[in-house]
């Protein structure tokens, strides 16, 4: 498969067209990002690397970090985790309070904000130094010890994250947050502030293309069942209330973040990351969605 030629063709097509979208200005630090930044990196399981644009520039991965948190928490609790968080698409905005109230403090899935807060609570309960230990875990998955939090983004989210405070407090009232709300929120805001490049994200997501086995070290991070289930959650819940459309148009498991990043995998073949900060109303990168739809169309490769 001539991945580089396909990416070059997609890039040439995009330059002839115009796309809308706005940066995530409700988080002040993200509002400062150049809206025209654009990068792609595709990594294959046979050691191929193909890229365009700002593939090595780091950005705030935001909700993509929820995948790494789930990867760490799932083996800790096993199937008991699903008693505290569901596995269904939400069909509502990622920070909805209404659905959480109706469902007695049990989030629909671990990739919306409420679900990720429950996963954060699990990690706070099980790690000696949660922020330090989680960052080391992400560095291990990426094979890069220089990956870090962006302190300014974390503080910016703390200053404006009132809905997340409300979500955590509501779940605490239902008994689904075990630790202090302030501790869970502090971990969550830092988790979302991690910065990675398209290249780093793509190489890290090879874990999910390789059924839970680390591509370099060969260490099994997730067992076969856990890997299958996590990939299913990525497919059905990875794009907020636009997950169905992404599955329909792209056909890959993946996860987006309001920093403009999208990471996706074609199991047993490749992982790919795209970064473009302009978002649609659902919080997904407009250009990222377009790139991945064209990628699976031109390659003829999706899970379907």
**269: which 2 tokens?**
């073949």
Residue 304 placed within a domain: no
Number of domains comprising the chain: 1
- Are residues 265 and 227 in contact, defined by beta-carbon separation less than 8 angstroms? no
Per the domain annotation, does 89 fall within a domain? yes
Residue 93's pLDDT is 72
User: In 143-285, where does DSSP find H-type helix?
Assistant: 151-160, 162-173, 181-192, 198-204, 206-209, 224-237, 243-249
Closest among 66, 98, 86 to 194, alpha carbons compared = 66
Structural domain that includes position 243 = 3-299
Backbone angles phi, psi at 105, to 5 degrees: 80, 10
Specify the DSSP class assigned to residue 214: -
Specify the residue for token string 């309001």.
Answer: 258
Whether 52 maps to a domain, the answer reads yes
pLDDT (0 to 100) of residue 208: 97
Rounded distance, CA 162 to CA 142, Å?
31
Q: Is the separation of the CB atoms in 74 and 222 below 8 Å?
A: yes
Cα angle 83, 201, 62 (rounded to 5 degrees) comes to 55
Longest Cα–Cα distance in the chain: 54
Q: Which residues are paired to 39 by β-bridges?
A: 53, 275
For residue 75, the Cα-to-chain-centroid distance in whole angstroms is 18
Structure tokens at 71: 């990867």
Residue 277, domain CATH: 3.40.710.10
Pairing assessment for the beta strands 194-196 and 254-256 based on DSSP bridges: unpaired
109 lies in some domain: yes
Looking at the domain assignment, is residue 99 inside a domain? yes
Contact 39, 198 (CB under 8 A): yes
Separation between Cα atoms, residue 32 and residue 102, nearest integer Å:
36
Q: How far apart are CA 292 and CA 281, in angstroms?
A: 18
Going residue by residue through the chain, which has 304 residues, state the pLDDT in tens, using 9 for 90 and above.
899 999 999 999 998 888 889 998 888 899 999 999 999 999 999 999 999 999 999 999 999 999 999 999 999 999 999 999 999 998 777 777 888 998 999 999 999 999 999 999 999 999 999 999 999 999 999 999 999 999 999 999 999 999 999 999 999 999 999 999 999 999 999 999 999 999 999 999 999 999 999 999 999 999 999 999 999 999 999 998 899 999 999 999 999 999 999 999 999 999 999 999 999 998 999 999 999 999 999 999 999 8
Rounded to an integer, what distance in angstroms lies between the CA atom of residue 78 and that of residue 75?
A: 5
CA-to-CA distance for 48 and 1, rounded, in angstroms? 11
What pLDDT shows up at residue 188? 98
What is the three-class DSSP state of 263?
strand
**Calpha distance 291→248 (Å, rounded):** 14
Q: Evaluate whether residue 184 is within a structural domain.
A: yes
């Amino acid at each position: 498969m001539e991945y580089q030629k396909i990416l070059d063709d997609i890039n040439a097509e995009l330059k002839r067209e115009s796309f809308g979208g706005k940066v995530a200005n409700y988080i002040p630090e993200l509002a400062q990002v150049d809206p025209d930044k654009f990068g792609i990196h595709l990594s294959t399981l046979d050691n191929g690397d193909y890229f365009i644009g700002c593939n090595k520039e780091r950005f705030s991965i935001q909700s993509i970090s929820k995948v790494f948190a789930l990867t760490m928490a799932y083996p800790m609790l096993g199937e008991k985790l699903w008693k505290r968080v569901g596995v269904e698409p939400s069909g509502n905005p990622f920070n909805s309070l209404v659905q959480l109230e109706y469902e007695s403090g049990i989030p629909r899935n671990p990739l919306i904000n409420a679900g990720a807060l429950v996963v954060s609570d699990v990690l706070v309960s099980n790690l000696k130094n949660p922020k330090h230990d989680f960052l080391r875990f992400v560095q291990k998955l990426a094979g890069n010890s220089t990956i870090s939090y962006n302190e300014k983004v974390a503080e910016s989210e703390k200053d404006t994250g009132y809905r997340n405070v409300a979500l955590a407090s509501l779940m605490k009232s239902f008994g689904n947050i075990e630790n202090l709300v302030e501790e869970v929120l502090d971990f969550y805001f830092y988790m979302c502030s991690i910065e990675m490049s398209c290249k780093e994200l793509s190489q890290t997501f090879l874990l999910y293309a390789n059924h839970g086995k680390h591509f370099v070290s060969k260490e099994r991070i997730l067992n076969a069942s856990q890997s299958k289930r996590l990939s299913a959650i990525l497919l059905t819940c990875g794009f907020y209330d636009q997950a169905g459309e992404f599955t329909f148009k792209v056909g890959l498991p993946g996860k987006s973040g309001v920093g403009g990043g999208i990471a996706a995998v074609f199991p047993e073949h490749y992982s790919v990351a795209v970064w473009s900060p302009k978002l649609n109303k659902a919080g997904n990168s407009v250009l990222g969605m377009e790139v991945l739809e064209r990628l699976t169309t031109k390659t003829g490769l999706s899970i379907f």
